[in-house]
């Protein structure tokens, strides 16, 4: 397999605001081409804190009018096992920063249920995806947004967890020992079938892990972000100088 991080797919920006602006521009560009080619744009949102500013920008006067939001379909890469009103919910973060501010039809918002039984919720989400993608062998998202934790996880694919070995399901409930909790997550083969995958990584706290993921030995059990290598699509890392200081 080729190196995860080649110079061509890593873009380094001065700070997190510039990363957010670059991500918003990529989002718009891919949305426009997807809507032009397919009549719709399917995008998987990342959770955590890094993408919040990108979502806020997309909902701002500067960006919002560039996209036909009624043709946008929103999905989630992972979710915590909490209600959508919980402060840690990825849905709540994206809804407050962007979704609730835009004319996206309710039926186009494919929330990953965090409340209730995690295994059942994962199965339900996979069924929703299979319906949306007309029972295709794999989901062909137009864009998947991802973050990376300082332990090398992405989505809720955490080091040493069972989900890293899943090669058939699109969505699983993943027990994360260090969190003492389940997470619902897309699997890496489901992510890897996307047309475009965009990582957003900022902050000095991630610089050592980013170096290992992009330049270090292949060790996906410990660095799950290395599993993300789209087989039929593009991979781009948008990082700030602080996160890239060791590259």
Which residues, numbered 63-102, are part of the site for ligand 6PG (CB under 6 A)? 77-78, 90
Per CB under 6 A, 16 contacts ligand 6PG: no
Residues 137-166 that bind ligand 6PG (CB under 6 A): 147-149, 153-156
Nearest residue to 113 via CA among 124, 104, 100, 103: 124
Q: How many Å apart are CA 55 and CA 112, to the nearest integer?
A: 18
Question: Per CB under 6 A, does 43 bind ligand 6PG?
Answer: no
The answer to the question of residue 49 lying near ligand 6PG (CB under 6 A) is yes
DSSP state of 89: -
Instruction: Please state the closest distance from residue 200 (CB atom) to ligand 6PG, in A.
Output: 7
Torsion of CA 184, 182, 221, 26, to 10 degrees: 30
Tokens 């948008």, located at residue: 238
- Which parts of the chain are beta strand (E)? 10-13, 41-45, 72-76, 78-80, 143-146, 171-176, 181-186, 196-201, 234-240
54 binds ligand 6PG (CB under 6 A): no
User: Shortest gap between Cβ of 142 and ligand 6PG (angstroms)?
Assistant: 19
CB of 92 to ligand 6PG, least distance (A): 12
Q: Is 68 exposed, middle or buried (CB count within 10 Å of its CB: 0-12, 13-18, 19+)?
A: middle
Least spacing, CB of residue 48 vs ligand 6PG, in Å:
3
Work out how close the CB of 192 gets to ligand 6PG at its nearest, in angstroms, rounded to a whole number.
Answer: 16
CA 222/CA 107 separation, integer angstroms: 37
Q: Is 224 in the site for ligand 6PG (CB under 6 A)?
A: no
Give me the least distance between CB of 22 and ligand 6PG, in Å please. 16
Q: For residue 83, give both structure tokens.
A: 């209600």
CB of 34 or CB of 174, closer to ligand 6PG: 174
- Total residues contacting ligand 6PG (rule CB under 6 A)? 15
5 near ligand 6PG, rule: CB under 6 A: no
Judged by the rule CB under 6 A, the positions of this chain that interact with ligand 6PG are 46-50, 77-78, 90, 147-149, 153-156
């Amino acid at each position: 397999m080729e190196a995860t991080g080649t110079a061509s797919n890593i873009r380094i920006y001065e700070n997190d605001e510039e990363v957010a602006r670059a991500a918003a521009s990529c989002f718009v560009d891919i949305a426009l081409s997807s809507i032009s080619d397919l009549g719709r744009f399917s995008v998987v949102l990342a959770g955590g804190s890094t993408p919040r500013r990108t979502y806020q920008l997309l909902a701002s006067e500067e960006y919002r009018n560039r996209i036909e939001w009624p043709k946008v379909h929103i999905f989630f890469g992972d979710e915590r096992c909490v209600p959508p009103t919980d402060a840690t919910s990825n849905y709540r973060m994206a809804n407050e920063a962007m979704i609730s501010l835009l004319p996206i039809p309710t039926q186009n918002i494919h929330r990953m249920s965090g409340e209730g039984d995690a295994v059942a919720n994962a199965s339900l989400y996979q069924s929703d995806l299979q319906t949306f993608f007309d029972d295709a062998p794999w989901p062909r998202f137009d864009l998947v947004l991802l973050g990376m934790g300082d332990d090398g996880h992405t989505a809720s694919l955490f080091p040493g967890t069972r989900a890293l070995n899943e090669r058939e399901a699109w969505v699983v409930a993943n027990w994360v020992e260090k969190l003492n909790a389940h997470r619902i997550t897309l699997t890496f083969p489901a992510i890897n079938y996307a047309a475009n995958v965009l990582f957003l990584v900022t902050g000095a706290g991630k610089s050592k892990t980013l170096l290992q993921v992009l330049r270090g030995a292949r060790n996906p059990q410990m660095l799950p972000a290395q599993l993300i290598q789209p087989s039929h699509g593009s991979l781009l890392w948008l990082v700030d100088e602080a996160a890239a200081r060791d590259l």
